[in-house]
A and B are shown apart, each in its own frame.
Chain A
């Protein structure tokens, strides 16, 4: 493992404000970055949104309780309406909070453990005040671990 920890693989990123809508987050994710840090007005990290958290918000939650949905052949009208409504809610309602964020210069081992336990594709890196410094992407950690 690299002795400088996550510093070489920390990338700067433009966060999304908590008041942005789900559809705005979806467009940003599609165009720029698979995982977006969500920040409040003071720039503190609230969590992340990615396509998984947006999908969860867009479909009614009863879908998750079903394990055999092959019987649905045409999309239910109510489900589609739900998705359109859900697309207008602010991302702070659907933000995925992580048990902790990476501090600047954290070890690769710490980052690896957080990735394994959260399943997200990128984790925000924060300074001592909780302000956003950048993100570490899981794929960059994998490459760093495999090649260092």
Chain B
């Protein structure tokens, strides 16, 4: 009975989040409080179920990103690549989606989209071309780019913390398929929609008049925030050597920035998306209740029964299930619930099952408009530019891009299985 209730609360929470009737943070906090109040999980295990390393990593990076945002360097980057494209569609797609993918490997995808899309809308208006293919390509690049590193997408942060996998582990095992998947998906998008992006010749002069450096903040601020972010990223590369958690690295970087950059600390901490952190907190407690009642162990057993213990079937099954599930529901609760399942399934000394969960959960975000928060943010921005993007029209871009990146991801997983 208790188990059924825990599953019921979790499924209801995911459904409520999908309908967007209630803010996802409110849903997670209510669900978390509810499972404690009705005794599905005791208070102490509930606190222990919250993965503080995930919250610390997110909070630290949010402070650094806030600092970087204040200096205008992201706007500079997007304007600079737009101007450098000279209005050639291929260069425009490559420059904008390339910088989006690169940024989202290190920043949260929603943040990246919020930074790049408004500039893209200015560029599209300057060239007088359709903004939608560019913006959708950016979102797809952001979801794929985020999959490449430990810190690029919340599912990876959750997986990294749970499986004790470091920044370099992610870069080596999920970085290469992300690069290939990005290249293949963008090539397809360009071949299919490139001709919508050809500007008239007389618009090129307006593009050339853009001055990327005009919005940059004081040189001192730019140098400090770049140095702090650079040191933090360097810290991610070597965190394993020094037995430091990625959260420690991110928090140290944030502290260094607050110390040296001297921003107003109240304002800087307002840059933290508290709603996201509380969402994670509530979610971890709900998943804790599922785990405490043995549900996730049983899911793992059922999966093992279905695949008959065949590793290839298990790995590909998890990747594609994760992709489809992430296309339909929030990939964060899905990943959080799958972590104990994958832990049960993981063969001794093999991490491939973790990589399959990571690839599926991250790439699946491209499947539908509601697959990732970044998609909805971009649709909102297009809507504000009087270019509404429907659920169906997003899928015309999203489904092929997901299939392409998942096909490459699957081949990569088979390769990992073969060499392990």
Q: How far is the CA of A60 from the CA of B123 in the complex (A)?
A: 13
Q: Do the beta carbons of B381 and A68 come within 8 Å of each other?
A: no
Q: Does B386 contact A (CB under 8 A)?
A: yes
Contact among A60, A67, A69, A72 with B385 in the assembled complex (CB-CB below 8 Å) = A60
Question: For residues 122 through 175 of chain B, which have their beta carbon under 8 Å from a beta carbon of chain A?
Answer: 122, 124-126, 128
Q: Which of A39-47, A76-84, A101-109 contacts B (4 or more CB under 8 A)?
A: A76-84
Q: Does A66 contact B (CB under 8 A)?
A: yes
Q: How far is the CA of A66 from the CA of B72 in the complex (A)?
A: 10
Q: Do the beta carbons of B122 and A66 come within 8 Å of each other?
A: yes
* Nearest CB on A from B116, distance (A): 11
Q: Which of B183-191, B209-217, B278-286, B322-330 contacts A (4 or more CB under 8 A)?
A: B209-217
Q: Do the beta carbons of A69 and B128 come within 8 Å of each other?
A: no
* Nearest CB on A from B214, distance (A): 3
Q: Does B201 contact A (CB under 8 A)?
A: no
Q: Do the beta carbons of A62 and B121 come within 8 Å of each other?
A: yes
Total residues of chain B contacting the partner, CB 8 A: 29
Residues on B with C-beta less than 8 A from A70 are 211, 214-215
Residues on A with C-beta less than 8 A from B214 are 68, 70-71, 73
In the complex formed, the residue of A with least CB distance to B71 is A68
Q: Mark B101-131, 1 if CB is under 8 A from A, else 0.
A: 0000000000000100111011011101000
* Nearest CB on B from A141, distance (A): 32
Residues on B with C-beta less than 8 A from A72 are 122, 126, 210
Q: Mark A128-144, 1 if CB is under 8 A from B, else 0.
A: 00000000000000000
Q: Does B232 contact A (CB under 8 A)?
A: no
A68-B72, A72-B210 given as contacts; is B216 within 8 A of A77 (CB)?
no
Q: How far is the CA of A70 from the CA of B79 in the complex (A)?
A: 11
Q: Does A61 contact B (CB under 8 A)?
A: yes
Q: Do the beta carbons of B209 and A74 come within 8 Å of each other?
A: yes
Residues on B with C-beta less than 8 A from A62 are 117-118, 121-122, 381, 384-385
Q: Do the beta carbons of A77 and B203 come within 8 Å of each other?
A: yes
* Nearest CB on B from A29, distance (A): 24
Q: Does B75 contact A (CB under 8 A)?
A: yes
Q: Does B206 contact A (CB under 8 A)?
A: yes
Chain B CB count within 10 A is highest, among A60, A65, A71, A85, for A71
Q: Do the beta carbons of A65 and B216 come within 8 Å of each other?
A: no
Residues on A with C-beta less than 8 A from B385 are 60-62
In the complex formed, the residue of A with least CB distance to B213 is A71
Q: Do the beta carbons of A65 and B125 come within 8 Å of each other?
A: no
Q: Do the beta carbons of A71 and B121 come within 8 Å of each other?
A: no
* Nearest CB on A from B123, distance (A): 8
Q: How far is the CA of A72 from the CA of B213 in the complex (A)?
A: 11
* Nearest CB on B from A68, distance (A): 3
Total A-B pairs in contact (CB under 8 Å)?
76
Residues on B with C-beta less than 8 A from A63 are 118
* Nearest CB on B from A120, distance (A): 23
Residues on B with C-beta less than 8 A from A65 are 114, 117-118, 381
In the complex formed, the residue of A with least CB distance to B114 is A65
A62-B381, A68-B72, A68-B215 given as contacts; is B122 within 8 A of A76 (CB)?
yes
Q: How far is the CA of A79 from the CA of B205 in the complex (A)?
A: 16
In the complex formed, the residue of B with least CB distance to A73 is B209
Q: How far is the CA of A73 from the CA of B126 in the complex (A)?
A: 10
Residues on A with C-beta less than 8 A from B206 are 74, 76-77
* Nearest CB on A from B385, distance (A): 5
Contact among B75, B76, B124, B216 with A66 in the assembled complex (CB-CB below 8 Å) = B75
Contact among B114, B126, B212, B215 with A78 in the assembled complex (CB-CB below 8 Å) = B126
A68-B216, A69-B215 given as contacts; is B125 within 8 A of A77 (CB)?
yes
Q: Do the beta carbons of A61 and B384 come within 8 Å of each other?
A: yes
Q: Do the beta carbons of B211 and A73 come within 8 Å of each other?
A: yes
Q: Mark B26-59, 1 if CB is under 8 A from A, else 0.
A: 0000000000000000000000000000000000
Q: How far is the CA of A64 from the CA of B386 in the complex (A)?
A: 14
Residues on A with C-beta less than 8 A from B122 are 62, 66, 69, 72, 76, 79
In the complex formed, the residue of A with least CB distance to B70 is A67
A-B contact pairs, 29 of them (CB 8 A): A60-B385, A60-B386, A61-B384, A62-B121, A63-B118, A65-B114, A65-B381, A66-B118, A66-B119, A66-B122, A67-B72, A67-B75, A68-B76, A69-B215, A71-B210, A71-B211, A71-B213, A72-B210, A73-B209, A73-B211, A74-B126, A74-B205, A76-B125, A76-B206, A77-B126, A77-B206, A78-B128, A79-B122, A82-B386
Q: Mark B residues whose CB is within 8 Å of A.
A: 72, 75-76, 79, 114, 117-119, 121-122, 124-126, 128, 203, 205-206, 209-216, 381, 384-386
Known contacts A65-B114, A68-B216, A71-B75; 18 additional CB pairs below 8 A are A62-B117, A62-B118, A62-B385, A67-B75, A69-B122, A70-B215, A71-B79, A71-B214, A71-B215, A72-B122, A72-B210, A73-B211, A76-B125, A77-B126, A77-B206, A78-B124, A78-B126, A82-B125
The list of the 10 closest CB pairs from A to B, nearest first, reads: A68-B215, A78-B125, A70-B214, A61-B384, A76-B125, A68-B72, A76-B126, A65-B118, A73-B209, A62-B121
